[in-house]
Structure 1
Amino acid sequence: MEFFKSAVASAISKGPPFPYTFGDRVDVDTSIWALHNGTKREDGSNCSIFSFDVTANKSRLPMARNAVKKLRTLRHPGVIKVLDTVETETYIYIATERLVPLKWHIKRKSMSPETLKWGLFGIAQTIKFINDDASSVHGALRVGSLYTSESGEWKVGGFEVLSSMKDDEAIIYNYGSLVPDAGRYTPPECAKSGWETIKKNPIHAVDAYNFGTLISEVFNGEFLGSDQAGQTKGVPPAMVASYRKLVNTNPKARASVGNFLEQGRRNGGFFETPLIKLTDSMDNLGMKSEEEREEFLNELDQLSDDFPEDYFKMKILPELLKSVEFGGGGPKVFGVVMKISKKLTDDEFESKVTPSVVRLFSSPDRAIRVCLLDNLPIMIDRLPQKIVNDKIFPQMVTGFTDVAPMVREQTVKAVLTIIGKLSDRTVNGELLKYLAKTQNDEQPGIRTNTTICLGKIAKNLGVGNRSKVLIAAFTRSLRDPFVHARTAALMALGATLDSFSEDDCANRILPALCPCLIDKEKLVRDQANKTMDIFLQRIRKFGSTMADTVLPPPTSNDNPTASAPRMGTPQPSEAASWTGWAISSFTNKVSTATGEIQASSNGAPAAATRSNSSPVIDSRRANTVPVTATATASASSLHRQAVTSPPATSARTSTSSNANDYFPEANADGDFDDTWGNMEEDTFFDSPSETPLTTTKPTPKPTTKATPKPVTKPSAIPFEDDGEPDFAGWMAAQAGKKPGAKALPKGLAKPATSRPITGSRTASTGGIGGVGAKKAAAVKPKPVVAKKVDPTPKPAADDDDGWGDGW
């Protein structure tokens, strides 16, 4: 083979230029030519090359030259198309369209009966043209002289002895018997009397007989001799009668190929097949009327998958695309295009269909746009990513805002098809912008499909904004009035669970799901329960992996700088009940107080008045201060209310005044909320005022029977009612520092020193009281409601109880 190629190259180098490159040899045993696949050097297109070696076949040189001459001069769609010829003293080359010997298909039986009929129909038309129009005789018609083109059409070759009957010196008279395998295919009259007898018989007699043997060979395999002519095995029943007329032994009684063709084209004849009708209708498809085009498409739909694929690729498909783009073929024609394109290779699709698809997406015809979107799944794998992202999608986005709801809906559905061909920038930018619009569309079906679309393309969204986009979209759909939109949102949330963090699930998604649990539609409620269970399972699983607490471990009591837990902090030992810590803390503190609770005159228990000199003790330091049986260390909110100092502008009572002056009776004035509101502020520690303290006699109440005794102002009182204990000094004393102040008032178990406070303290005084003084100055205190009290002073010995009776 390599030697042959080198010999050919050497011969070409010595002869005229031949702009074609030889490829693999295609063996043809029944021809004087050697057939090669080739390519055109100029554009690389495929071709075939027939080569004739003059030196080895000098006796058949006239036949080769006759073939070249007839191929160049005889033009018909059924004849091999010649591209170029070269003849030298050593070789003859004929470059033609790419061909495949028909004998290959017949041996493999790769063609269906319908395709064989279609092929015979084409050959019959060509032979009729040669006999009737060209007044010529082919003389070598058989399977070996026929070829199939790239379009699958059958082509007539083997023109070695093709002769015009007007030529007295026709080559067929002398060389008819030199054609390879002539003995098997020669008509009986020529075999008996020689080729000169054709002059006495009709022009069509020889080719009619050979066409009959061709029918037998096509349906039954290789033709062995004249004895096989006329056998009907394998021949379609409808064709048998006409077939027998072709192989009649009497040349004058033989039916011509034209007559055979006419019989087959009759209504109900053997050539009345969908494929043959399609072939006849292909010319000028764009010029056909609406009715003719509709008929043509109906015939096209009747075709099955066993018809010649190559013919549809090379002939039907280009004509259909032209009809869609320029001839008004419409969506139905494009649907047929997609049906045919399934059999194309990727390279064929890219070269033949892709350019038309790109142009069609820019068409303003809505029917074409919907048809393109419907067929997008068929062709998306064949379209390059760059074409989809840069050319098709920019044209496609106009459908998101089209006035026709069908176009908008189909565009949303098509997103699922093209999402894999779009860049991340396109998906997270322009696409999401349009989907945000369609999710707010006036059509509920479009809103629902947008939600479904977002759920299915979630994995294609950017990691940075995926959860943000999905939560915003799905929670909006949960409030959609359309029941299926809400259901779609619930299903989408469940399907995209992995896209959300645990914080998003607990803080944003679960609260949005709760209203759906009592939705008016059972369909939504059922789906909401399923989705809720999915998210709760994930939250519970995550919660089981979390630490028990993030608080630091409790410090040891041996550490003097560690503060005791506040009363309001639940302790681990008290966590058995959610109210246990509050109740136990309260009772633990109250259990340390002793004394008697005296009843008021109206039967309600009245708290004893505290001594004017009793200091206020911070509950936060209660664990470090020794407390006697008559003192309480509780600094609860309730305690703070009980001992809040009265306003500075109010009249002062004597040390025998009842504690009810600080507690309005049963909040009769509706101050319950205000009283509990004070729990949020440290008014217990506030200084009432900076106004100097003055004492007045208490005004007798009209409802009391006894008149209180006049009270004289003491000369030096360390702690008056307007006074405030020096907590800074007291706390310093507890830490070991000795500021040298007086001992604490009576009622505390362990005496301590403190700095004496006279009159009232300023806001600049250190400790917590200084801050409280500012609050007291800014907030106007409520007036104290006078109560009916017993003005009789207590015995002096009761003063030892101090804060015990006051609490």
Structure 2
Amino acid sequence: MSFFLRAIGLGGNSIPNFNFTLGEEIEVLRGYAAVPWVVRAGTRNEDGSKVTIFEFNANSASSSSATMDMARNVSKRAKTLMLPGFLRCYDSVEYNNTIYVATEECLPLVRILGDPEIKRDYYDEESGERFDEGVALGLRHVSQALVALHKHQLVHGNVSNESVFVVKSGEWRLFGLELVAGHNEENGLYRRYWSILPDYRRPPETLTSSGGSSTSPAIHNVDAWGLGALIFSVYSGLDNERLSVVKGSDMRSCRTMPRTLQSGFTGLTGTNPKLRMPIDKFLTDAEFVSGSEYVLALQQLDELALKDATDRDAVYRHLTTVMDMFPLRACKYIILAKLSAAMQFGGGSATALEPILKIGTRLTDPVVFGELVAPIVMTLFLSQDPMVRLRLLSSAAQYAPLLPVTLVNDKIWAPFSTGFNSTNANLRELTVRALVHFVPLLDEKIISSDVIRYVTALQQDREGPIRTNATICLCLIADHIPVAIRPKTLVHGFGRMLRDPFLPSRLAALRSFQGTTHHLTPQLLAEAVIPGVAPLSLDANSEVRDLVFRVMDASLESLKKHAGTIPVAVAADDSQQAATSNPNSGVASPVSAGPATTAAAPAAAAGSFWGSWGGKSASTGPAATANGTAVNNNSIASASSSGSNNAPSSATAVKPLSTATPKHQDATTSSYSAPVVPAPTSSSSATTAGGSGGNSWEDELDFGESKPAAVSSLRPSSSLAATNSGMKLKKKGFGGGGAAKVE
């Protein structure tokens, strides 16, 4: 029922024929030309948009016939004065001796000047360069409104800090229409009620008994003085109570206003009305207004449609250099709006992205960024200009983390992904580099299907730097790849690049292995990573060889930790069960065997050559083998070093990855120790083994800015092939989806 009553204007606080709902009280303007307006927040009933409602109750104690006349004049003039610089009025109505005027959302200037917190919100500071720039633009808007009003032969007569209101963007709007009347109107409201104004707001000629009818022939005289009173109230620091006792002659003693404004202020407040500065001359001559960078920047943005492409780019570049001087609120709601309009109607270019992103860096709230900057970014991704796309991609780190997730997945990803298939090599490279900043916002489905597919394709690109950057990208996004496919995706992605003839590509693959070891399963480390990187220990490049050993050290360290978690008791029971079920298996009984035989029993029971090659021997005496014969540990290393592959006769024996070297001979008789890696001494050194995360090597191997010689001129190094006589790496190992196999 209440909804129905509100719909027909009869319920709640609804007012007939007034399609707005009153909200909380914001301010009571008691000195507002003697009309006690109550300023309220409000909403429009159709869409819930915010408005400001001025309310005057004629039944209040301070009401009189004069105040009622002035309030009705506001209601009438507000709906008819549709001039630039004036507060926009949506509707006004009189109901139950109360006048309601609905305007665009705003705050009284006197409220902002009197509240330091609100003042900082609008101008970033209580005083200083940004505040002065905001005042310069405000004075320009008020002056332009007065000039337009005078062209219609109307006088405002009530210019002050209480007749100026500040909208959401920080711009000033003129209101206070109580005394608006015709210039030649003898019985107009201004001539009837000017005596109620404070002395400092009245020109000296109106203080005489004649009222100045014969001494104020120029239409601008009254409002020029009022504009000077407005300037004084802004920079004097006095509240309205103290301003009410200020005389006109006292205003000249203000020493806190900027130097560039003082000459214009003196011209506006001249005691001789014939010598008083016209308002349009104040706009052009006052350096404070005409020389303001903020004012000039907005003028140039308004004239973009009249400029050619070269001049527009010059405007954008200059705007970027002076952006820090402007209040943030103005950048958000004025400059961004103008730049967005330029982009939509063909006035934008790649250069326009610079001021947009510079504003974006000052927006720390993702919600505000999503409302104001994200739509512009989406529009730019739809542009067919390759330079715009290149600027977007190269600056992705500045804006991508603040973009809304839904916008990236639904609107931006589709045009973004076209860069992977571009015929422009620079565009492909920048796309894969920018992907690092977008992946955290993408859905797992897109990562599993599209992202992995595009990165894999770029790993086969004809340009070596692009292949390198694709591998780096895969490492940096490893944390965001779904867990179910992460290990194999990383192993296959990095493994296929180990055979790349482009040196930085092989380095990137090895560093990626080193930085993502914690993502790989023990089985992949043992069956794919270590066998896959081992052949590169013979690479002609020393940095590659060093990285190989670091990757192997990190992998072995991880395998050692995993081996410590395997239940030993289960393995012993299995060995005992195997010995019981097969008396001829060659496993010596602990009762009849000597110390050496006992030490070798677990390895023999496993039926594998690895137990005796990589383990620690308990004695230098003979050990039992799988066929029941005793051999010396040194004979294993010797056989290996001579190139023979004498595998045990057990059916479960596995061939070694490669022939052993003299270094491995020591490992058969002592505990294993990782090779000592020299400390990095230059930017080409890799991080220490076992480092986690993908960024550990990002600085030392950049994204390949400088393009090396054509890849086609390079020949694969012979060290990439598996040269050991006892091992051959199948293609299926890294590229085909399975683990590495050894023959």
Tell me, yes or no, if the aligned pair for 1:51 and 1:92 is still in contact at 8 Å: yes
1:147 aligns with 2:165: yes
- 1:653-692 paired onto structure 2 within 5 Å: none
CA separation of 1:261/1:326 partners in 2, compared to 1, >3 Å: closer, same or farther?
Answer: closer
Tell me, yes or no, if the aligned pair for 2:382 and 2:415 is still in contact at 8 Å: yes
Residue equivalent to 2:741 = none
Task: Give the whole-Å Cα distance in 2 for the aligned partners of 1:11 and 1:190.
Answer: 48
1:258 aligns with 2:259: no
Task: Give the whole-Å Cα distance in 1 for the aligned partners of 2:415 and 2:268.
Answer: 60
Task: Give the whole-Å Cα distance in 1 for the aligned partners of 2:565 and 2:514.
Answer: 22
Q: Give 2:103's match in structure 1, choosing from 86, 96, 99.
A: 96
RMSD: 3.4
1:285 aligns with 2:304: yes
Tell me, yes or no, if the aligned pair for 1:286 and 1:329 is still in contact at 8 Å: no
Task: Give the whole-Å Cα distance in 1 for the aligned partners of 2:350 and 2:382.
Answer: 15
Tell me, yes or no, if the aligned pair for 1:85 and 1:94 is still in contact at 8 Å: yes
CA separation of 1:89/1:550 partners in 2, compared to 1, >3 Å: closer, same or farther?
Answer: closer
Task: Give the whole-Å Cα distance in 1 for the aligned partners of 2:630 and 2:57.
Answer: 124
Alpha-carbon offset, residue 178 of structure 1: 2.6
Residue equivalent to 1:85 = 92
- In structure 1, what residue type is equivalent to 2:24? D
- 1:151-230 paired onto structure 2 within 5 Å: 151-179=169-197, 182-193=198-209, 195-197=211-213, 200-222=216-238, 223=243, 224-230=246-252
- Of stretches 26-35 and 196-205 in structure 1, the one that deviates more from structure 2 is 196-205
CA separation of 1:429/1:79 partners in 2, compared to 1, >3 Å: closer, same or farther?
Answer: same
1:325 aligns with 2:344: yes
1:44 aligns with 2:48: yes
Alpha-carbon offset, residue 525 of structure 1: 2.2
Larger RCO, structure (CA 8 Å, separation 6 or more): 2
Alpha-carbon offset, residue 120 of structure 1: 1.5
CA separation of 1:584/1:446 partners in 2, compared to 1, >3 Å: closer, same or farther?
Answer: closer
1:535 aligns with 2:579: no
- Of stretches 536-545 and 91-100 in structure 1, the one that deviates more from structure 2 is 536-545
- In structure 2, what residue type is equivalent to 1:521? N
Tell me, yes or no, if the aligned pair for 2:339 and 2:356 is still in contact at 8 Å: yes
Offset from partner CA, 1:659-680 (integer Å, 9 cap, x none): xxxxxxxxxxxxxxxxx99x99
Offset from partner CA, 1:273-293 (integer Å, 9 cap, x none): 211112222325344312331
Of structures 1 and 2, the larger Rg is shown by 1
Residue equivalent to 1:274 = 293
- Of stretches 543-552 and 395-404 in structure 1, the one that deviates more from structure 2 is 543-552
Alpha-carbon offset, residue 408 of structure 1: 1.1
Offset from partner CA, 1:714-767 (integer Å, 9 cap, x none): xxxxxxxxxxxxxxxxxxxxxxxxxxxxxxxxxxxxxxxxxxxxxxxxxxxxxx
Task: Give the whole-Å Cα distance in 2 for the aligned partners of 1:308 and 1:562.
Answer: 87
CA separation of 1:127/1:582 partners in 2, compared to 1, >3 Å: closer, same or farther?
Answer: closer
SS in 2 for 1:293: helix
Residue equivalent to 1:617 = none
Number of equivalenced pairs: 577
Tell me, yes or no, if the aligned pair for 1:185 and 1:210 is still in contact at 8 Å: yes
Residue equivalent to 1:295 = 314
Residue equivalent to 2:576 = 553
Residue equivalent to 2:466 = 446
Tell me, yes or no, if the aligned pair for 1:18 and 1:86 is still in contact at 8 Å: yes
Residue equivalent to 1:461 = 481
Task: Give the whole-Å Cα distance in 1 for the aligned partners of 2:44 and 2:426.
Answer: 49
Offset from partner CA, 1:332-382 (integer Å, 9 cap, x none): 213322333455665554444444433433333222222333344444344
- In structure 2, what residue type is equivalent to 1:278? A
Tell me, yes or no, if the aligned pair for 2:221 and 2:276 is still in contact at 8 Å: yes
Identity %: 28
- 1:688-727 paired onto structure 2 within 5 Å: none
- In structure 1, what residue type is equivalent to 2:78? L
1:122 aligns with 2:138: no
Alpha-carbon offset, residue 261 of structure 1: 1.8
Alpha-carbon offset, residue 469 of structure 1: 1.4
Residue equivalent to 2:327 = 308
Q: Give 2:259's match in structure 1, choosing from 215, 226, 237.
A: 237
Alpha-carbon offset, residue 216 of structure 1: 2.0
SS in 1 for 2:277: coil
Alpha-carbon offset, residue 192 of structure 1: 3.0
Task: Give the whole-Å Cα distance in 2 for the aligned partners of 1:582 and 1:204.
Answer: 114
SS in 2 for 1:36: strand
Task: Give the whole-Å Cα distance in 2 for the aligned partners of 1:585 and 1:24.
Answer: 96
SS in 2 for 1:282: helix
SS in 2 for 1:176: helix
- Of stretches 345-354 and 61-70 in structure 1, the one that deviates more from structure 2 is 345-354
1:30 aligns with 2:9: no
Alpha-carbon offset, residue 520 of structure 1: 1.6
Tell me, yes or no, if the aligned pair for 2:71 and 2:178 is still in contact at 8 Å: yes
Residue equivalent to 2:616 = none
CA separation of 1:69/1:341 partners in 2, compared to 1, >3 Å: closer, same or farther?
Answer: farther
- 1:310-709 paired onto structure 2 within 5 Å: 310-342=329-361, 346-546=366-566, 547=568, 552-553=575-576, 563=583, 566=586, 573-574=596-597, 575=600, 576-577=619-620, 581=624
- In structure 1, what residue type is equivalent to 2:38? A
SS in 1 for 2:500: coil
Alpha-carbon offset, residue 71 of structure 1: 2.3
Residue equivalent to 1:248 = 270
CA separation of 1:91/1:541 partners in 2, compared to 1, >3 Å: closer, same or farther?
Answer: closer
SS in 1 for 2:24: strand
Alpha-carbon offset, residue 168 of structure 1: 2.6
CA separation of 1:208/1:381 partners in 2, compared to 1, >3 Å: closer, same or farther?
Answer: same
SS in 2 for 1:84: strand
Which blocks of at least 5 consecutive residues in structure 1 are unaligned?
A: 1-5, 589-675, 682-807
TM-score, normalising length: structure 1? 0.66
Task: Give the whole-Å Cα distance in 2 for the aligned partners of 1:213 and 1:143.
Answer: 8
CA separation of 1:502/1:103 partners in 2, compared to 1, >3 Å: closer, same or farther?
Answer: same
Task: Give the whole-Å Cα distance in 1 for the aligned partners of 2:527 and 2:329.
Answer: 62
Alpha-carbon offset, residue 555 of structure 1: 9.8
Alpha-carbon offset, residue 90 of structure 1: 0.8
Residue equivalent to 1:105 = 112
- In structure 2, what residue type is equivalent to 1:338? L
Tell me, yes or no, if the aligned pair for 1:286 and 1:322 is still in contact at 8 Å: no
Residue equivalent to 1:775 = none
Tell me, yes or no, if the aligned pair for 1:216 and 1:231 is still in contact at 8 Å: no
Tell me, yes or no, if the aligned pair for 2:475 and 2:516 is still in contact at 8 Å: yes
Tell me, yes or no, if the aligned pair for 2:401 and 2:437 is still in contact at 8 Å: no
CA separation of 1:586/1:296 partners in 2, compared to 1, >3 Å: closer, same or farther?
Answer: closer
CA separation of 1:198/1:233 partners in 2, compared to 1, >3 Å: closer, same or farther?
Answer: farther
Tell me, yes or no, if the aligned pair for 2:586 and 2:625 is still in contact at 8 Å: no
- In structure 1, what residue type is equivalent to 2:179? V
